[in-house]
Amino acid sequence: MSVLPLEDDIIVRLNLVLLFLVSIEPYLFYLNIILDLSAHELLLNSASILYALDMTGLMLILALFTHELAREEKGLVPKDLLVKYKRVRNILFISAALFAITVLPVFWTLKLGNQPIRFYFWFIPVVLSSIMRVLER
């Protein structure tokens, strides 16, 4: 945020939305952890959908911010870092897409063990970003 031009009204509004999404993420995550699937299936399904939408929004806004940084003509970051920022941007867009598709009902009805497959899909962005960090080194 320190490098992005804050005079841009869209960036300021997206930053406010990002702050809101960040503030509700721990609560939604907590609901997904404490709710028992067998006793609170409807509430857990709703909480997990809201969590997936929240994470989609977070990843999408971060990807848009990173896209602004990665635009060569803006000159916001040194040219030698542009490839890294573009790679991060792409991972954030992929992560947003992965969180977004888990909202679909099929990710709740298909189960792996006793848990809906939605919960397992949420680990893919973490694994993907970890792999990319290792490959950068």
Could you list the pLDDT tens digit for every one of the 137 residues in the chain?
666 666 678 888 999 999 999 999 999 999 999 988 878 888 999 999 999 999 999 999 999 998 888 877 667 777 887 888 888 899 999 999 999 999 999 998 999 988 899 999 999 988 988 888 888 77
Q: Which of 55, 73, 57 is nearest to 17 (CA)?
A: 57
Separation of CA 33 from chain center: 18
SS (H, E, C) 48-73: HHHHHHHHHHHHHHHHHHHHHHHCHH
* Rg for the chain, CA atoms, rounded: 17
Give the length of the chain: 137
- Return the pLDDT at 12: 84
- Return the pLDDT at 129: 85
